């Protein structure tokens, strides 16, 4: 089973969200811990993956050799893909 780690940026973004959205994101990440590739989508021209939680997206990296799901950033879908 994979463990979940947040970057400092992702922690700040997570804390700013409403409590109900935080609960949905945590439950989706917990479900993702067993077989992450069944729930995520590979981002084009990037080594990262996107996890869909309603109108919110979680950008993450799956580190196979250490069994870690590393959350890079999260936010509303209209904001998350902008560079």
The pairing of beta strand 68-76 with beta strand 3-6: parallel
Q: Is the pTM of this model over 0.85?
A: yes
Nearest to 64 by CA among 37, 27, 28: 37
pLDDT of residue 55: 93
Residue 65: pLDDT over 70: yes
pLDDT tens figures, 30-60 = 999 999 999 999 999 889 999 999 999 999 9
pLDDT > 70: percent of the chain: 99
What are the structural domains, with CATH classification, of the chain?
Answer: 3-80 (3.30.2310.20)
The structure tokens listed for 26 are 């945590």
Chain-wide mean pLDDT for the chain?
92
The structure tokens listed for 62 are 């799956």
pLDDT of residue 83: 58
């Amino acid at each position: 089973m994979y463990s979940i780690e947040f970057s400092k940026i992702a922690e700040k973004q997570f804390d700013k969200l409403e409590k109900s959205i935080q609960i949905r994101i945590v439950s989706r990440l917990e479900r993702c811990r067993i077989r992450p590739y069944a729930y995520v989508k590979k981002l084009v021209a990037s080594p990262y993956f996107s996890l869909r939680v309603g109108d919110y997206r979680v950008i993450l990296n799956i580190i196979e050799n250490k069994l870690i799901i590393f959350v890079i950033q999260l936010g509303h879908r209209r904001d998350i893909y902008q560079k």
